[in-house]
Structure 1
Amino acid sequence: MSTIGFVGLGVMGAPMARHLVTAGHDVTGFDVHTPAVDAFAADGGAPATSVADAVRGADVVITMLPNHPQVEEVAAQVLPAVPPGTLFADMSSIRPETSVRLAAEGAATGVRVIDAPVSGGQTGARQATLSIMVGGDEVAFAAARPVLEVLGTPRHVGGAGAGQVVKAANQLVVAGIYALVSEAIVLLEGSDVGAKTGLDVLAGGLAASRILDLKRESMLAREFTPGFRIDLHHKDMAIALDAARDAGVALPVTGLVAQLVAAARAMGHGSLDHSALLKVTETLSGREA
């Protein structure tokens, strides 16, 4: 069993940290929101009052934070504080270039840094079924694997930053499918065709997807309780476009879908689930529910 310092006990991080406790690891958790730390302690974790407190004595450090500024701020406290050989797994979704830089900074002090963003949303975090995309040294991945397997299915996808690139690709596909499912619903309903029956048929054919499997009923019911918020997907679409710019490739459909996600935020839907892209399509069609 590992001694783990876990920083970031939010919607995703809290259930992930709890799974590690349940698996028998010695986990100390910290979050800037004290109630989150208190809730983690109530679930059997060890509470910390600071980042330094959380990582003291840890052989594994995990961060699950909103964006690269928070990751950079925490990493600046972690890297000087932990001894050589410590494994630092950043499971946040951030810019690939930040992950590459943190891996280089860690290597300079002997800290093994990997980027390990996840897909699966709040449901995947709660059910420990996350898809985990790991970039970094293969030996470091092998060392991290027993811990990561408690949280889902880890897959090594390349060197430092590769996990973030794969996550960006994941997010552009997810947003694109949400946009198209939204258009399918609006088309079916606007044509007076049973949308539920239509989507059931789509889910059994070549158009089948996990999104149709998991979200078609809630989208038809206009239930947008967040499993993954529009605000966060907006951030991820910006990461995807930045990665495309760095790679010198064109992603025209991604650019359009990113604008739809941005429109959802501008309409005040940022706190809703990303399936609320349906509301944007309805508004453009003059068919607000």
Structure 2
Amino acid sequence: MKKIGFIGIGLMGFPMAKNILKAGYSLKAFNRSPNKAEQLKEFGAEITTSIDDVVNNSDVVITMLTDDTAINEVMDSPNFLENLKSSATVIDMSSVKPTTATKYGNNLKSKNIKYLDAPVSGGTIGAEEASLAIMVGGEQDVFNEAFDVLKAMGNPTLVGPVGSGQVSKLANQIIVGLTIGAVAEAITLCEKAGANPNKMIKALSGGWADSKILQTHGKRMIDKDFTPKGRTSVHLKDMNNILECANSHNTHLPISNLVKEMYKTLVNNGQGETDHSSLYKEIERINKK
């Protein structure tokens, strides 16, 4: 059975690594702050203290890091590159720019290392339940080879060549960001006009406007519970990446641009660490003007 090296044991990485262990794989874990990784021991993980250790002798190396800066730090590191097995596959499950995925795909290919970009959607709940949507960019045979490992974390789909996974994730984040905005306006309208927003959500169940975002994020907005499941600062990063990708293809996304500006204001007003459903607060702020 394949040996897995997992880099990045955070809110998402922890349950994802746990599900790989549950599927019977041996897994070595590395995290910059080791205490987060320590808890994986009880599920059978080996905790390593360096990049060299986690990469060394692993058949598949999975990275699940915050952003491009964190990925660059790992993938440009000689400790990472020099310790990869020649037959290894690197799977980056972080959400980064498509250009970042393409860069490392080409870089690793030149060293005979296989690469997939495989960002995810479904949040911490999807990570816990192993029901993540996994959007994969890469070659068919590499995808086929890695399928069972990916399947332990959710539902993988190959969407095109390297970089396509990240483009699909950006498409996902357009829909999530814009829908959060739509739900925030719907809740606000109900509150202002005297309709019960909880009953509105129930009434819309099963109709065209129903969605996971209406059901989960709508509830958070009504309860004013913005404990982070997906952080506002991360969604702002995604919206910036969406617009950068669109601009590079001479494509205008006017609604994404509007939502990006709203997330930017939220972050500037100290809401970067709240849940991305706190876009509701920006609608609230606009109405207090």
| TM-score category (smaller protein) | over 0.9
- 1:183 is aligned, of 169, 182, 185, to 185
Per-residue deviation at 1:30?
0.3
Gaps of 5+ in 1: none
The equivalent of 1:170 in structure 2 is 172
Q: Does 2:281 match 1:263?
A: no
User: Contact conserved, 1:96 with 1:162, CA < 8 A, in 2?
Assistant: yes
Classify the secondary structure of the residue corresponding to 2:167. Answer: helix
Classify the secondary structure of the residue corresponding to 1:156. Answer: strand
User: Contact conserved, 1:3 with 1:25, CA < 8 A, in 2?
Assistant: yes
Mapped partners of 2:159, 2:190: distance in 1:
39
The equivalent of 2:249 in structure 1 is 247
The equivalent of 1:34 in structure 2 is 34
Classify the secondary structure of the residue corresponding to 1:268. Answer: helix
Gaps of 5+ in 2: none
Find runs of 4+ consecutive structure 1 residues off by over 6 angstroms: none
Q: Report the residue type matching 1:50 in the other structure.
A: S
Per-residue deviation at 1:37?
2.2
Alpha-carbon displacement from aligned partner over 1:146-195 (angstroms, at most 9, x marks no partner): 00000000000000100000001100110100001000111111111111
Mapped partners of 2:178, 2:38: distance in 1:
38
Classify the secondary structure of the residue corresponding to 1:267. Answer: helix
Q: Does 2:214 match 1:212?
A: yes
User: Contact conserved, 2:187 with 2:218, CA < 8 A, in 1?
Assistant: no
**Pairing 1:32-71 to 2, within 5 Å after superposition:** 32-71=32-71
User: Contact conserved, 1:203 with 1:212, CA < 8 A, in 2?
Assistant: no
Mapped partners of 1:69, 1:137: distance in 2:
25
Mapped partners of 2:205, 2:271: distance in 1:
27
User: Contact conserved, 2:58 with 2:85, CA < 8 A, in 1?
Assistant: no
User: Contact conserved, 1:29 with 1:54, CA < 8 A, in 2?
Assistant: yes
The equivalent of 1:223 in structure 2 is 225
Per-residue deviation at 1:284?
0.8
Alpha-carbon displacement from aligned partner over 1:181-227 (angstroms, at most 9, x marks no partner): 00011111111111112222233321111211333222211111211
Classify the secondary structure of the residue corresponding to 1:170. Answer: helix
Alpha-carbon displacement from aligned partner over 1:105-126 (angstroms, at most 9, x marks no partner): 1110110011000000111111
User: Contact conserved, 1:79 with 1:111, CA < 8 A, in 2?
Assistant: no
Per-residue deviation at 1:73?
1.6
Mapped partners of 1:151, 1:111: distance in 2:
22
Q: Report the residue type matching 2:136 in the other structure.
A: V
Output the TM-score relative to the length of structure 2: 0.96
Per-residue deviation at 1:270?
1.1
Output the TM-score relative to the length of structure 1: 0.96
Q: Report the residue type matching 1:166 in the other structure.
A: S
Mapped partners of 1:40, 1:126: distance in 2:
14
Q: Does 2:207 match 1:193?
A: no
Alpha-carbon displacement from aligned partner over 1:71-117 (angstroms, at most 9, x marks no partner): 12211232332122211000000010010010101110110011000
User: Contact conserved, 1:12 with 1:125, CA < 8 A, in 2?
Assistant: yes
The equivalent of 2:162 in structure 1 is 160
Identity percentage of aligned residues: 36
- 1:101 is aligned, of 85, 100, 103, to 103
Per-residue deviation at 1:14?
0.8
Alpha-carbon displacement from aligned partner over 1:222-250 (angstroms, at most 9, x marks no partner): 11121111111111111111110111100
